[in-house]
Structure 1
């Protein structure tokens, strides 16, 4: 007799089996890949976002949904659970945390990958003075990149500290060292530096609970949106290099995700990472992780030493 269990993917024991994770902002890009890799390591992963099969967020992409992300998590060997959530809506976030508490009693890993503000950058706010940037756009950038993170952290941390080893991951753009230079627009600069300080501050607060807070960043990310922008796919992404030479250092979303999954499974992660910010390449070196093509791209070093430092070399020298 046929039943639903006949069609379930085979479960396996992984380094995160039994762990409960929430990836806030898992519709696409790094968030989706992070959810999938945590699932591949055995975790139960709650995935949230604003785009579902019935509703499209202000990002305007219907091609990726949180339901699909949850299915990918389960297909990878974990358990994916999709919960539509706008993380600027405090009541929705409280309901999300309440559901996790009711179903799991605790939370072990919180990944704050909330953003969705690329459409606000399309008119190229970069290079504009703060007073030249439309105020509504600037404040929305701060809502999406800072306020959403704080709401989620404030409401989920009381559940996270029930874990025997709480892990809070802030996903941003740049490390503290890389972001010592101005990021081209005040609102964007604030939005991408705030998660670094959130991780630093939470590192102080979580230490007494045996916890770890870390800010992580991809390099030049080959997200679905970036591939679409250049009119290429993951299979022929190198065709975009002629248009944008720096795209030669691009990395897949899986690179950061594999690195973070390895970090999450590290029993010594607090000593290594608590309160710090790190790139995908930095974490990958520690855990021996590689991208899907077997390379280990280091986009921040490529930009730091080449574009800003004037060092001769090509992207291949940093892969």
Structure 2
């Protein structure tokens, strides 16, 4: 592994779905290494998406990128609208002439997930199809539009953000539609990796662990400062990680001149943390999937502290 100080100065990144959570943190950490980051999403200071949250906007994300040391550019974009995505890519080409990093973190479907594990035929069809639009179709549209610009220069990186690795997702995830929505990005990364082999690019899928996103913190009625109070309600939250963790890992892979060794891989925030020596905001190095795999298997006496 190259041990030089990581630097993304002069590199252009697009983080699609950077309003909040992992997307926001990834954008900020890319900026902290000097990248210019175009951040997109549907929630702006003037308009709220179907997610219904007004507390995070793409303008704020862009400001955080700039404050971290990069240049943040907010572009309101619905990634299910092909014309909007094409216009976004054309703008990046016009203003920068290149694209080095594409992060597909588009989702916004938490409100569609059935907490009770309904059968496929019991799930409202429109709800299920909307999940697939948000988690799969939007990624396909974005990659189709952005890859011609990304492959113009050798060494481009595509990151598909999802929930779970190829290994952890061998079992059933939540329900029929959620399972498809979160397994598809793993295959998309693998397939794009195949197509990038001949042009010097790299594609990977990356999952955070139990993410302390703004939305998740609100769900448990806690803040980042007192997040551990939620463990009483949900014991597995003891392994939760902040969005900074996956953000730092992805920034490091983006800055790694030898990142081609990862091509086609399904990775976790923990995998990147170990490979690049990064840590979460609190100095820990959580292994959420290692912990959760044992908990979900019904093992008793598994301690989260042993996986931090």
Q: Which of 252, 256, 259 is matched with 1:266 structurally?
A: 256
Q: Which residue does 1:300 correspond to in 2?
A: 289
3-state DSSP class of the match of 1:158?
A: helix
- Give the 5 Å matches for 1:72-91: 72-91=64-83
Q: Equivalent residue for 2:198?
A: 208
Counterpart CA distance in 1 for 2:295 and 2:124 is 33
Aligned-partner SS, 2:87: helix
Is the 1:249–1:297 contact (alpha carbons within 8 Å) kept by the matching residues of 2? yes
Distance in 1 (alpha carbons) for counterparts of 2:299 and 2:191: 35
Distance in structure 2 (CA, Å) of the matches to 1:306 and 1:52: 39
8 A contact 2:6–2:252 mirrored in 1: no
CA contact (8 A) 1:14 1:42 kept: no
Q: Distance in 2 between matches of 1:241 and 1:77?
A: 35
What TM-score, normalized to structure 1? 0.94
C-alpha distance in structure 2 between counterparts of 1:185 and 1:18, whole Å: 43
Q: Which one of 40, 43, 54 corresponds to residue 51 of structure 1?
A: 43
Which residue matches 1:6? none
1:144 match = 134
Measured against aligned partners, the alpha-carbon deviations of 1:199-237 in whole angstroms (never above 9, x if no partner) come to 000000011111100000000000000000011100000
Match of 1:189 in 2: 179
- Equivalent runs, 1:78-227 vs 2, <5 Å: 78-121=70-113, 123-124=114-115, 126-227=116-217
**Structure 2 contact 6–256 (Cα < 8 Å) conserved:** no
Name the structure 2 match of 1:22: 14
- Structure 1 residue 309 displacement after superposition: 5.8
| TM-score scaled by length of structure 2 | 0.97
Which stretches in structure 1 are left out of the alignment for 5+ residues?
A: 1-12
Give deviations 1:78-113, integer Å, cap 9, x for gaps: 000000000000000000000000001110000000
Q: CA deviation at 1:304?
A: 1.1
Q: Distance in 2 between matches of 1:181 and 1:307?
A: 11
Q: Which residue of 2 aligns with 1:253?
A: 243
2:21 equivalent to 1:32: no
Cα distance per residue 1:111-158 (max 9 Å; x no partner): 00000001112x42x511111000000000000000000000000000
Runs of 4+ residues over 3 Å off in structure 1? none
Give the CA deviation at 1:14. 5.8
Aligned to 1:291: 280
Shift in alpha-carbon separation, 1:309–1:287, aligned structure 2, 3 A: farther
The secondary structure found in structure 2 opposite 1:205 is helix
Deviation at 1:313, TM superposition (A): 2.3
- Separation in structure 1 between the aligned mates of residue 33 and residue 283 of structure 2, nearest angstrom: 19
Q: CA deviation at 1:310?
A: 1.8
Q: Could you say what secondary structure the match of 2:271 adopts?
A: helix
Measure how far apart 1:193 and its partner are.
Answer: 0.3
| Partner SS for 1:131 | helix
Distance 1:276 1:286 in 2: 13
Secondary structure of 1:170's aligned partner = strand
Q: Deviations over 1:254-288 (max 9, x none)?
A: 000001111111111111x1001111001110110
Deviations 1:25-49 (A, max 9, x none): 0000000000000000100000000
